[in-house]
Each structure stands twice: as C-alpha cells, then as structure tokens.
C-alpha cells in the first residue's frame, strides 16, 4: 500500500475539559496527512489550487477507538481508497504507541473556485488510479 504517515504531537490547546483530544481536531490531522500524501504521491495540493481547483470534502466517516491526550505522539497514516471521474476517497488510521485511536475515510470532489464540480484531469486521474490499485490488496474499511 502506498500510504504516507505523519507524526503529530498533541498540543494542550487541542484537548478538551476532560484532558483528551477534542474530536474536531482529528479532522485537521487527517487534512494534514492527506495533503502530505498528495505531495508525496500525486502533486502538491498547491498545484491544484494554482490551477483553480480544490478537493471539497463531501463525506467524513470516522470511528473513535480510544482517547488521545496532551503530549501523545500520534501517527496518522493515509492512503488512497478509490478514484472516480470527479472524486476520490482517502482512508486513515491514527495510532499512538501502536494502539488504534481512530480509523476512517473521507471523500472529496474536485471543484473550481466557484464550487462547481470538475472532472479530475485524465493524466491526474490515471496516476491516482494506479495508487488506488496498489492499495487494493490491503484495502481496509474502518471497523
């Protein structure tokens, strides 16, 4: 699987009154990992932006398995699940010391700066599909 893993040390301000990572922060961690995956395996996200495009998030499916806390170092792994004409899905697993904290997927549609749906350019789509095929044998759905 052509995944990318980033490390993130939980800051105090990312925790809630119970001392655990507030659930909304995981969405930020996934975005950081997704952009890093694109940098490493597709093209820098800023190149999409320069061409007048964004990948708008259309679906978010997360499963929280256990809590993370201040100063935990989280490993956020992401990989490409599938690519269609104008959309793609990424999968994620967040761990701390080998224990699963979160698993999930996000789906994204390519849009222009006015929010209109656009097809992923064929050369980008074909390159991305190659990565999705590489992930196929190890494809996992969140449990």
Residue 93, beta-bridge partner list = 77, 103
Domains delineated in the chain = 4-138 (3.10.129.10)
CA atoms of 58 and 109, how far apart (whole Å): 7
Asked whether residue 138 carries a pLDDT value surpassing 90, the answer given is no
Mean pLDDT on 48-61? 96
Spell out the residues 6+ positions from residue 123 whose beta carbon is closer than 8 angstroms to its own: none
For residue 1, the model assigns a pLDDT of 60
**Is the distance from CB of 127 to CB of 121 less than 8 angstroms?**
no
Mean pLDDT in the chain?
Answer: 92
The SS3 call for residue 77 is: strand
For residue 131, the model assigns a pLDDT of 84
- What is the tens place of the pLDDT at every residue in 13-45? 999 999 999 999 999 999 999 999 999 999 999
């Amino acid at each position: 699987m052509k995944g990318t893993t980033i490390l993130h040390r939980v800051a105090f301000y990312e925790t809630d009154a119970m001392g655990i990572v507030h659930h909304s922060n995981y969405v930020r961690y996934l975005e950081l990992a997704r952009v890093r995956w694109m940098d490493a395996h597709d093209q820098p996200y800023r190149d999409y932006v320069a061409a007048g495009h964004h990948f708008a998030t259309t679906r978010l499916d997360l499963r929280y398995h256990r809590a993370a806390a201040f100063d935990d170092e989280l490993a956020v792994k992401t990989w490409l699940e599938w690519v269609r004409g104008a959309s793609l899905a990424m999968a994620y697993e967040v761990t701390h010391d080998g224990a699963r904290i979160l698993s999930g997927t996000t789906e994204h549609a390519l849009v222009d700066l006015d929010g209109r749906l656009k097809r992923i350019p064929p050369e980008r789509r074909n390159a991305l599909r190659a990565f999705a095929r590489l992930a196929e044998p190890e494809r996992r759905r969140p449990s």
